[in-house]
């Protein structure tokens, strides 16, 4: 596990390279507090290269991000090579408009899980209780993602309208997106001359956003997102963009954020590298 901090003129950057553990979370939180309280940085970019890890460690990092924002700061997130599991959720919970990935980034979402330790004995009652806790955690995660989007855009309907605008942009710029992504393009971005001939996955996304606009309820979106989480497989960056899980793909002109992303930390004498 390696944690690297860089201090720029207007912003700071922390790079997380390795699995999310409680030790990593504590280390990052302490340095985020130092950057905010001692160095008085307002803009932070969290650069991620991690397969994921412990949910508790993620919650601690999200809590520190909340404190950063409560003090008027911004938190951008960037995926370098891999953002999986808890790391993918950290990426999503960055400031809307400031969540960036690379065309080749491996972004993977899945539902919560428990890794069995040793020879623990599990009864039917225990298994049922555990399943209920996992289901509850899964619902809370997808709901938290939508709340993050809705709060950033002002309300559920506006967030859904932004999603529909992204759908139209994806449809209109499909050819250039495929060209920019080159070998990394992993969805069939082949659209017909009518909506009925559009790819099924695309129609499902559009339908979900339209239901949110019509009903003012997030259920259609969260149900769709939960379905993708159940797949437990790499999510194409263009799909993550249209679902508003990210805001930009580096080098892909049509998949860019609406707002300017602050510089994530230039070279500075205070740069340090921490290994844990």
What's the CATH class of domain 1-98+259-276? Answer: alpha beta
- Mean per-residue pLDDT over the chain, rounded: 87
Closest residue by Cα to residue 74 from 103, 32, 109: 32
pLDDT, one tens digit per residue, over 183-220 is 776 676 878 777 778 899 999 999 999 999 999 999 99
- With contact defined as beta carbons under 8 Å apart, do 107 and 237 qualify? yes
pLDDT at 133 over 70: yes
Angstrom distance (rounded) from CA 67 to CA 219: 29
- Per-residue pLDDT, 27: 92
Mean pLDDT computed over 109-129: 73
- Per-residue pLDDT, 136: 83
Mean pLDDT computed over 214-231: 96
Angstrom distance (rounded) from CA 149 to CA 268: 34
Q: Give ranges for CATH 3.90.226.10 in the chain.
A: 1-98+259-276
- Per-residue pLDDT, 188: 66
pTM of the model: 0.89
> Where is average pLDDT lowest: 81-90, 167-176, 188-197, 210-219?
188-197
Reported as a pLDDT band with limits 50, 70 and 90, residue 269 is very low
- Dihedrals φ, ψ of 241, to 5°? -70, -45
- Per-residue pLDDT, 116: 57
How is 99-152 classified by DSSP, letter by letter? EEE-TT-EEE---------TT----HHHHHHHHHHHHHHHHHHHHHHHHHHHHH
């Amino acid at each position: 596990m390696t944690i690297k901090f860089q201090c720029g003129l207007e912003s700071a950057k922390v790079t997380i390279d390795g699995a999310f553990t409680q030790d990593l979370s504590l280390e990052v939180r302490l340095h985020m507090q130092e950057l905010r309280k001692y160095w008085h940085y307002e803009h932070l970019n969290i650069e991620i290269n991690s397969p994921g890890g412990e949910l508790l460690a993620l919650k601690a990092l999200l809590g520190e991000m909340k404190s950063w924002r409560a003090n008027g700061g911004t938190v951008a997130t960037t995926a370098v090579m891999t953002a999986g599991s808890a790391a993918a959720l950290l990426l999503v919970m960055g400031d809307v408009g400031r969540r960036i990935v690379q065309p080749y980034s491996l972004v993977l979402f899945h539902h919560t899980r428990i890794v069995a330790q040793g020879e623990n004995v599990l009864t039917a009652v225990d298994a049922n209780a555990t399943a209920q806790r996992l289901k509850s955690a899964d619902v809370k995660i997808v709901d938290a993602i939508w709340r993050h989007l809705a709060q950033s855009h002002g309300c559920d309907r506006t967030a859904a309208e932004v999603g529909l605008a992204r759908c139209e942009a994806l449809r209109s710029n499909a050819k250039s997106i495929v060209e920019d992504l080159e070998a990394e393009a992993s969805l069939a971005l082949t659209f017909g001359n009518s909506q009925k001939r559009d790819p099924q996955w695309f129609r499902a996304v559009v339908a979900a956003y339209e239901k949110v606009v019509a009903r003012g309820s997030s259920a259609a979106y969260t149900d769709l997102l939960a379905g993708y989480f159940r797949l437990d497989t790499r999510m194409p960056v263009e799909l993550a963009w249209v679902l508003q899980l990210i805001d930009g793909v580096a080098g892909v002109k049509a998949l860019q954020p609406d707002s300017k992303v602050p510089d994530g930390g230039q070279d500075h004498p205070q740069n340090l590298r921490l290994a844990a």
